[in-house]
Amino acid sequence: MKILKLSSRFSIILLLFCILVKTAYSNEPVDIWNIEKKNNDELKLIENNESIENETVTGTKIIDQNSNIIVKSSLDANDVKLAGLYDPAENGLSIDMWSNSNGKEIKYFLEKLSSKKLSTFSEKILDIALLTNSYLPSNNISSEEFLKFKFQYLIKKNDLNLIKNFLIKNPTIKNNSKILRFYVDHYLSNSQLDKSCEIFDHVNVISSDYLNNFKIYCLIHQDKKEEAQLLFDLKTEFGSLDEFFVKKFNILMGYDKKDELISDTNIFRLHLSHKTNENFLYEPKIDTTKYIWKYLSTSNLLQDSNLINIENPEQVKLIETATNEGAYEEQELFDIYKRFQFDINQLINVNDAYKLLPDYEGRALLYQRLLLTSDNYLKLDLSSRLDKSFKESRLSNAFNKELSKILKTVNQDQVPSNFTTFYNQNIESKKEKELKIKFNNKIVHQSKLLNYFLNKTSLPKVEKETNDLLKKIKKNKKYSFSKKDIMMIESLKSDGVQILKKYDKLYDNKKNVPVEINSMIANGESGLLLLKIAHIIGEDKLEDIDLESVSFIVGILNEMNTIDLRNEILLKVLPLKV
């Protein structure tokens, strides 16, 4: 191994010498980006910048090309112009969907939306807006600011497959440290190191010491020690290395013996401590991070909850915290609560008695009393008090499954009015039954014309069906066109359905799309318009929005030619379902 290390250093020195000679020989700079395009499958790019922990390195860019290293000491701040995941054509958008918009407005709406708990449909709109492949906006907003919103949104969604796809589709994107670290830490915390490491096969730009070190460790884990040594030596030459990582690296490479040095500064350090210490023993604390709790749990490093001493407040509180972070199952915590001993007076006078006890012991008393009652009102009252106690101690995630289980023992029609909100918010909702559309050809918006929006009818066919239906409607002097009818007809016309002139005056349609919105559509500001629509809908379900607002949104989507989103709205609000 020592020979390998010396050989690697010699190779680097020789390689750097060759680069210097080549630079002196030619007046033209090497175009790394052309090299990268020609050898895309072979190149792996590491860009040292500022990490999410403010770790600093020299700004050297390293390209590993099967042992060929190309070094570029200056980085272009505007390397990446495009970023996204979805094809813009899928939703009637364009690659320039942000180019003409004011960044101040973009930031305003993104900040507003990030502070809301959005409905499923609003979140879908935001998905399309932020994850469609497009040029990054540049007017009053920097690329870094806009990408930060994208990354924050992906992390908030906590969809690891979506994050992985985004990183793979955008392998050279800058400032990706936070989202890439979120990804690798998630899988490491679940003791799935292989999943953490595989992403480095796809991501070319790594801009933090933490992630560079993680990649080196992955190479060792994958038994690619020569490559690991090469990257390690490059970091030694061009930047400073973390002393803790250097020690662990030397142990993992076989240069030094195992040690007992343990660090819990982050989950990666704790993992390295675990892997290089045969006698690893770690005692978590109240403020231990959720990643470390999860890692201890998935690595079977946690103390058996049955061995917890309930006379020791710190141990009980530790289990409460660990349950809140998902390291222990809720049932394990509540089994501990069952072990507490209370006298009969405390159980009878529970409403006053629990307030006199330490918070964790008060929760145990409330839970035991809950188990002893069959009275629905008392169940709801005690559940509400217990839930409040968990939330006041910032342990709201420790009482979810058990609360739902308790509430399911109470029939909904037996819930008093003062507990209705509490009951509905905390009982798991049953999966909604898929309702079928019931057609009624006497009403335009309930007619078989709906099949067009279900992609079951061609445009020529629906054109004939529309005119035939309008012919029948015209004969019915009592028929009055509703707002839903008009929405449907106008959407069909927007898609190219030709309505015969003799039916033009069957209904009055006042265009409700403001001039300002039309101007934005003409200006190609579809990204910003999607943000505005998501903001209008906000937390509401589509079926709960007033028809005036729905008509307004559908009108905008018609003008934008964003068909799929429009169809989804129409199929939610127009048909009669049974």
SS3 for 303-349 is CCHHHCCCCCHHHHHHHHHHHHCCCCCHHHHHHHHHCCCCCHHHHHC
Q: Assign 3-class secondary structure to 129-146.
A: HHHECEECCCCCCCHHHH
pLDDT of residue 80: 54
Write the DSSP assignment of 256-315 as a string of letters: S--------SSHHHHHHHHHT-TT------TT--HHHHHHHHHTT-SPPGGG--TT-HHH
d(CA 534, CA 477) in angstroms, rounded, equals 40
Distance CA 558, CA 445 (A): 17
pLDDT at 434: 59
pLDDT at 304: 81
Q: What is the pLDDT of residue 307?
A: 79
Do residues 384 and 426 lie in contact, with contact meaning Cβ atoms separated by under 8 Å? no
CA distance 62 to 575: 58
Sign of CA dihedral 51, 55, 56, 61: negative
Give the CA diameter of the chain: 96
Distance CA 181, CA 179 (A): 5
What pairs with residue 577 in β-bridges? 437
Contact 156, 115 (CB under 8 A): no
Amino acid, res. 185: D
**Contact (CB, 8 A) for 167 and 179:** yes
Instruction: Look at residues 504, 492, 443 and name the one whose alpha carbon lies nearest to residue 469.
Output: 443
Residue 20's CB is within 10 A of a number of other CB atoms, namely 10
Residue-level pLDDT at 390: 94
Alpha carbons 312 and 302: distance in angstroms, whole number = 17
| Residue carrying structure tokens 């970091």 | 235
Q: Which two tokens stand for residue 374?
A: 């069959």
Contact, 356 vs 285, CB < 8 A? no
Q: Residue 220: which H helix or E strand, with range?
A: helix 209-221
304 burial class (0-12, 13-18, 19+ CB within 10 angstroms)?
Answer: exposed
Distance between CA atoms of 90 and 84, rounded to whole angstroms? 13
- Using DSSP, state whether 72 is helix, strand or coil: strand
Q: What is the DSSP letter of 203?
A: -
Residue labelled with tokens 């460790």: 217
Is the Cβ–Cβ distance between 397 and 324 less than 8 Å? Answer: yes
Contact of 172 with 204, CB cutoff 8 Å: yes
Distance between CA atoms of 117 and 136, rounded to whole angstroms?
A: 26
DSSP state of 52: T
- The structural domains of the chain, with segments of one domain joined by +, span 305-426, 437-577
Instruction: Give the predicted TM-score (pTM) of the model.
Output: 0.75
What sign for the dihedral angle of Cα 520, 521, 526, 531?
positive
d(CA 7, CA 229): 10
Phi, psi of 22, rounded to the nearest 5 degrees:
-65, -40
| Short-list 4, 75, 418, CA closest to 228 | 4
Residue 547's CB: how many other CB atoms inside 10 A? 12
CA atoms of 234 and 169, how far apart (whole Å): 27
Q: What φ, ψ does residue 59 adopt, rounded to 5°?
A: 85, 20
Instruction: For the chain, 578 residues long, give each residue's pLDDT as a single digit of tens.
Output: 444 444 445 454 444 444 433 333 333 333 322 323 333 333 333 333 333 333 333 333 444 433 333 333 333 434 557 889 999 998 889 999 999 999 999 999 999 999 888 999 999 999 999 999 999 999 999 989 999 999 999 999 999 999 999 999 988 887 889 999 999 999 999 999 999 999 999 988 888 899 999 999 999 999 999 999 999 998 888 777 789 999 999 999 999 988 889 999 999 999 999 999 988 998 888 888 889 999 998 998 888 878 788 888 998 999 999 899 888 889 999 999 999 999 999 999 999 999 999 999 999 999 999 999 999 999 999 999 999 999 999 999 999 999 999 999 999 888 999 999 999 888 864 444 456 888 999 999 999 999 999 999 899 999 999 999 999 998 888 899 999 999 999 999 999 999 999 998 888 887 777 888 889 999 999 999 999 999 999 999 888 899 999 999 999 999 999 999 999 999 999 998 76
The secondary element (H helix, E strand) that includes residue 386 is: helix 376-392
Determine the Cα–Cα distance for residues 120 and 569; give it in Å rounded to an integer.
12
* CB-facing half-sphere around the CA of 363: CA atoms within 13 A: 24
CA 108 to chain centre: 20
The position carrying tokens 């042992």 is: 67
* Nearest-angstrom CA–CA distance, 60 and 69: 12
Residue 104 has a CB neighbour count (10 Å cut-off) of: 10
